A = this chain, B = another copy of it.
Amino acid sequence: MSKKNLAILLRARMRSNNSAKSSLSQFPKEIPSNPQENHSGDHHIVRNSSDLDTRGRVYDVVRETMHSAISASKTGVSDITLNDFQEGYSSLSLEDRGKLLLALAKEYDVNREQVRELIKQYLGLETPSSDDALSSVFYRIEWNLRHALKPTYESFFERLNTHPGGLRFLSILRADLLSILTKENTPSLRTLDSYLKEKLGMWLSPATLELHQITWDDPASLLEKIVAYEAVHPISNLLDLKRRLGIGRRCFGYFHPSIPGEPLIFIEVALMETVAQTIQEVLWDNPPIPENQSTCALFYSISSTQPGLAGINLGKFLIKRVITLVKKEMPHVSTFATLSPIPGYMQWLLSKLQTQSRFAEEERGGTESNPTSSTFSEQVLLPEEEQALMSLSDDSSSGSNGMEVLLNFLTQKNCDWATSPRVLPVLEPILMRLCARYLLQEKKRGKALDSVANFHLQNGAMVERINWLADRSEKGIHQSGGIMVNYVYRLENIEDYAQSYFGSGQIHASPGIHSRL
């Protein structure tokens, strides 16, 4: 899963800074305030300064434990020290964690004296031309240089990883780090994050992940996590959860052996007669058809659970493996499709309309004050769309051109346009056409701009159909004008499509979508 994608799935949690809270809740140990001064309100100032002292001392202890854990010999670090560090870290405030991570980044960095010494030796040797004794020296120095360039904290991460519970701890630590980086984006912290991310990506390679079907028979402690982490279509209560796992539905998760009882990512599947066009069709209370009459498995929700694993592609192979499992259980299912949100559509469209209507305004003024406007200006709307929009222009949404009118409608509070019988039919063809353009033609570094599109395309899907007013919720209207998209996975094409997307950024789409452009 791409960084963008995860960021979107997790936006709600990351924003409310729940990540730090939830990681703290894993470690019930809290530093008690001084009990002797806790009974009276008279000693407010004293108590506060004493609290600060206590906190300072606790920080120093954790800092010291970290130092012991890092400076012990490679295999001599004890489980107790690592345990103490994990517990101590978890008892710190986010502020103190930030301080500690900065110390880690700066004081346990690369040993640069050693690097310079090895570089000197390295440059003194000739690149070997044959496999002789001299080349042996060269290879050794090169190996040593490579390892000297490894920051000390990287070895510390490796130690933590081999410690029971360490991988989970590191994922919490990275969630903190990402949260701190939003406020204090320094080069040393960014580098710390790059190394940690690289390590986590290696340890969580698809080879180590296990796919399990999650059912109502699973432990409540696991199921509550599904409720907590379901990011796409929130689960309201236990009955709702039971339905998600019951007849006509399936739920699969990727698990890692050292983070037991908690999927890193999970996917929900509904068994349908045809590919659903709206979420209402999917979120039924009672199965619309018996399972053995289903021909389509619809992936209607994919959620990541660990904010600390943002940017690490956990979804690779997930869909392919789920398809294999479903196909094995139900050979009568022949279509594998999604009903997906288009999380970036409105954001892109509004920004495009703002820029272009300003350019249009400037050009109309004929001042030519801004030479970039003519270079970057484009016709966002077709002439007939322009006309239709201008004819809608009234008090509630006026504008000097079609783009401005559209912009005003889309930014109305309460999204009134979406319930107006007068406006809706005019906006439908325009928003649908621009949505097809957004999905098929808007790219960043050669990949689809939309994070969910990018996720499915790199997994080998094609864009099959876009559906008008498929999600009428406030969030749906706000994100994508209520439009949702069906991606389809065709078994015979998955491999080819994934590869051509990776290789040349080619996006496969149905003729129906192409005809909208």
Contacts and interface: CB of A to CB of B under 8 A. Distances in A.
B503 A76 contact: yes
Contact of A316 (B123, B162, B502): B162
A45 interface: no
Interface stretch (A13-21, A184-192, A401-409, A425-433): A184-192
Contacts of A498: 78
Taking chain A's interface residues, is the majority helix, strand, or loop, or is none over half, making it mixed?
A: helix
B79 A139 contact: no
A150 interface: yes
Contact of A76 (B203, B209, B499): B499
Given A458-B75, A499-B76, A209 B257 contact: yes
Contacts of A202: 158, 202-203
A192 to B, nearest CB: 10
Interface in A91-133: 106, 110, 112, 116, 119, 122-123, 127-128, 131-133
A54 interface: no
Contacts of A112: 127
Interface in A155-202: 158, 161-164, 166-167, 186-191, 194, 202
A493 interface: no
Contacts of A190: 136, 139
B110 A207 contact: no
A145 interface: yes
A495 B186 contact: no
Contacts of A503: 73, 76
A225 B209 CA distance: 24
User: How many copies of the chain does the oligomer comprise?
Assistant: 2
A187 B136 contact: yes
Interface string A486-504: 0000000001001100110
A412 to B, nearest CB: 41
A210 interface: yes
A206 interface: yes
A143 interface: yes
A257 B78 contact: no
Interface in A306-364: 316-317
B502 A75 contact: yes
A397 interface: no
A213 to B, nearest CB: 16
Interface in A73-93: 73, 75-76, 78-80
Contact of A258 (B143, B186, B207, B258): B207
A317 B78 CA distance: 12
A143 B194 contact: yes
Contact of A149 (B79, B80, B146, B209): B146
A205 interface: yes
Nearest to A255: B257
A437 to B, nearest CB: 26
A161 B76 contact: no
A131 B102 CA distance: 10
Contacts of A203: 202, 205, 207-208
12 contacts: A73-B502, A106-B131, A132-B187, A133-B187, A135-B188, A143-B191, A149-B149, A158-B202, A162-B206, A164-B207, A202-B202, A203-B208
Which 8 A-B pairs give the minimum distances between C-beta atoms?
A: A131-B186, A136-B187, A76-B502, A146-B149, A207-B258, A139-B191, A135-B187, A76-B503
